[in-house]
């Protein structure tokens, strides 16, 4: 990292605030390129989304975009890059592989593109600007935003989601599975303004952070497209505050993991107005009995939410809700890091023991 900040606002804060403008810029600048890539992919039988870390979470949501827009009729898969390389699918000319990699130099994401090309699959990279050559070996390379300074990636996640949403709209239309592509495109175009509104919860995130920082365990739960948002929220906590955190699908958490909850835990539930909300309410009530600190991120208009704190975000069609649901998760992780005296930009790269640990592996 070429620069370092030692107090708020850290670079992560800048990146969080930049997201609405960057999503708008990506949609304007890259739509034509995305549509060309999507037109090529629409003729392939199977679409495989791949990534690692935050990019893997974006790939999961990209698959959900396509599932929703095609009524579940598209054959789409999500694979983690290492798994695809080492436990490969039988890729061929009927496949398209869409790799998400902001840095563009992650060893296994590059290998996934190389293996897919060698097998005759169409390859598409969704990646940051000024990346390594490996990821640009794809037939289509769609740039998102500039490289992040902070170790905790935020704007690269949502700008990649913008590309994947536009891609899914075009593929669904090209396959004749989306009746009103114009409406879907219009809904996506409204997302930057709604993300700007979601940023209004920053003051509340800062206030709630004190209570969270005093706990030892942090769990995020979400359903549908926000299962991946929950996992992304937990990853941001690990990267910034070095706390034990996990992201679960809402129903999955009720089947075993609830046993670990007590007064040392924080629970963040993501409610969108979708079918997962009733189970999220049940989970919030259950964890209240156990003394957990309960925070609900709720779409505007949702009521009867049994939480200690409710953070409101704009109401949006559920398939697009990760764009607004992730903003409070990012802000909470940021302000808890500040509360705990951690620099959210470094990922402990400046800690000698972690520097020694990293010598044992290559990304």
Residue 121's contacts (CB-CB under 8 Å, 6 or more residues apart) are 44, 48, 91, 92, 93, 95, 96, 97
Domain limits at 145?
11-189
What is the total count of domains within the chain? 2
Do 181 and 207 lie in a common domain? no
Is there a single domain that holds both residue 33 and residue 162? Answer: yes
Q: What percent of the chain has pLDDT over 90?
A: 91
167, 189, 211: which is the final residue of a domain? 189
Distance CA 51, CA 28 (A): 24
Residue 356 located in a structural domain: no
**Is residue 5 one of the residues assigned to a domain?**
no
Report if residue 172 sits inside a domain: yes
Q: What is the pLDDT of residues 49-91, one digit of tens each?
A: 999 999 999 999 999 999 999 999 999 999 999 999 999 999 9
Residue 281 has pLDDT above 90, yes or no: yes
pLDDT tens, residue by residue, 302-348: 999 999 999 999 999 999 999 999 999 999 999 999 999 999 999 88
Q: For 178-202, how does the pLDDT look when each residue is reduced to its tens digit (9 = 90+)?
A: 999 999 999 999 999 999 999 999 9
Quick one: 42 and 61 in the same domain? yes
Residue 215 lies in a domain: yes
Residue 90's Cα: distance from chain center in Å? Answer: 27
Sequence-separated (6 or more) residues with CB below 8 Å from residue 118? none
| Straight-line distance from the first to the last Cα atom of the chain, in angstroms, rounded to the nearest whole number | 16
Looking at the fold, whether 242 and 124 belong to one and the same domain comes out as no
For range 209-215, the mean pLDDT: 97
What pLDDT shows up at residue 269? 98
44 lies in the same domain as 176: yes
Task: For residue 6, tell me if it sits in a domain.
Answer: no
Are 28 and 110 members of one domain?
yes
Residues 161 and 234 in one domain: no
Mean pLDDT for 221-233 is 98
Q: What count of Cα atoms within 13 Å lies in the side-chain half-sphere of residue 180?
A: 5
Q: Report the percent of the chain where pLDDT is more than 70.
A: 99
Contacts 24+ apart (CB under 8 A), 303-310: 305/271, 305/281, 306/281, 307/269, 308/211, 309/204, 309/208
Q: Are residues 110 and 228 in the same domain?
A: no
Residue 179 and residue 255 in one domain: no
How many Cα atoms occupy the beta-carbon half-sphere of 287 within 13 Å?
34
Final residue before a domain boundary, out of 189, 206, 229: 189
- Has residue 349 been placed in a domain? no
Q: Please provide the average confidence, as pLDDT, over all residues in the chain.
A: 95
Task: Return the closest-CA partner of residue 330 out of 17, 68, 4.
Answer: 17
82 lies in the same domain as 132: yes
If we measure between CA atoms, which residue out of 320, 218, 328 comes closest to residue 270?
A: 328
Write down the pLDDT at residue 260: 94
Q: Which residues of 255-286 are buried (b: 16+ CB within 10 A; e: fewer)?
A: eeebeebeebbbbbbbbbbbebbebbbebbeb
- 361, part of any domain: no
Determine the Cα–Cα distance for residues 266 and 19; give it in Å rounded to an integer.
26
Res 152 pLDDT > 60: yes
Q: What CATH number is attached to the domain comprising 80?
A: 3.40.50.10490
236, 330 contact by CB (below 8 A):
yes
Together in a domain, 213 and 331: yes
Average pLDDT over residues 10-38: 98
The answer on pLDDT for 1 being more than 50 is no
Tokens of 141: 């390379």
- Are residues 88 and 152 both part of a single domain? yes
Q: In the numeric block, which tokens belong to residue 73?
A: 């009729």
Domain boundary among 161, 189, 217: 189
Mean pLDDT calculated for residue range 128-154:
92
In this structure, the dihedral spanned by the alpha carbons of residues 106, 108, 109 and 115, taken in order and rounded to 10 degrees, is: 140
At residue 2, the pLDDT reads 54
CA dist., res. 39 & res. 164, Å (int): 13
Of 114, 116, 115, residue with least CA distance to 41? 116
Q: Is residue 58 part of a domain?
A: yes
Name the one residue in this structure whose structure tokens are 């097998």.
119
């Amino acid at each position: 990292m070429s620069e370092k900040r030692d107090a708020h606002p850290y670079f992560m804060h800048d990146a969080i605030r930049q997201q609405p403008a960057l999503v708008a810029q990506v949609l304007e600048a890259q739509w034509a390129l995305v549509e060309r890539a999507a037109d090529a992919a629409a003729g392939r039988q199977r679409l495989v989304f791949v990534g690692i870390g935050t990019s893997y979470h974006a790939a999961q949501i990209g698959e959900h975009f396509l599932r929703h827009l095609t009524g579940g009729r598209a054959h789409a898969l999500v694979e983690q890059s290492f798994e695809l390389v080492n436990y490969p699918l039988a890729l061929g000319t009927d496949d398209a592989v869409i790799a998400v990699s902001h840095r563009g130099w992650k060893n296994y994401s590059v290998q996934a593109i190389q293996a897919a090309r060698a097998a005759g699959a169409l390859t598409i990279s969704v990646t940051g600007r000024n990346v390594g050559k490996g990821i640009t070996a794809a037939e289509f390379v769609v740039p998102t935003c500039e490289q992040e300074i902070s170790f905790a990636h935020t704007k690269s996640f949502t700008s990649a989601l913008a590309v994947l949403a536009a891609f899914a709209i075009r593929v669904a239309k090209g396959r004749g599975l989306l009746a009103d592509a114009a409406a879907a495109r219009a809904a996506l175009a409204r997302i930057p303004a709604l993300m700007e509104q979601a940023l209004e919860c920053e003051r509340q995130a800062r206030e709630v952070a004190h209570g969270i920082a005093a706990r030892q365990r942090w769990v995020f739960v979400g359903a549908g497209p926000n299962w991946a948002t929950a996992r992304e929220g937990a990853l941001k906590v690990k990267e910034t505050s070095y706390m034990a955190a996990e992201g679960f699908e809402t129903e999955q958490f009720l089947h075993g993991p609830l046993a670990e909850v007590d007064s040392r835990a924080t629970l963040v539930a993501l409610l969108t107005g979708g079918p997962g909300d009733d189970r999220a309410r049940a989970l919030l009530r259950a964890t209240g009995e156990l003394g957990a600190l309960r925070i609900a991120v709720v779409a505007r208009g949702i009521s009867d939410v049994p939480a200690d704190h409710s953070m409101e975000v704009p109401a949006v069609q559920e398939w697009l809700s990760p764009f607004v649901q992730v903003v409070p998760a990012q802000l909470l992780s940021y302000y808890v890091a500040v509360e705990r005296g951690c620099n959210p930009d470094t990922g402990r790269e400046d800690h000698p023991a972690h520097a020694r640990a990293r010598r044992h592996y290559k990304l």
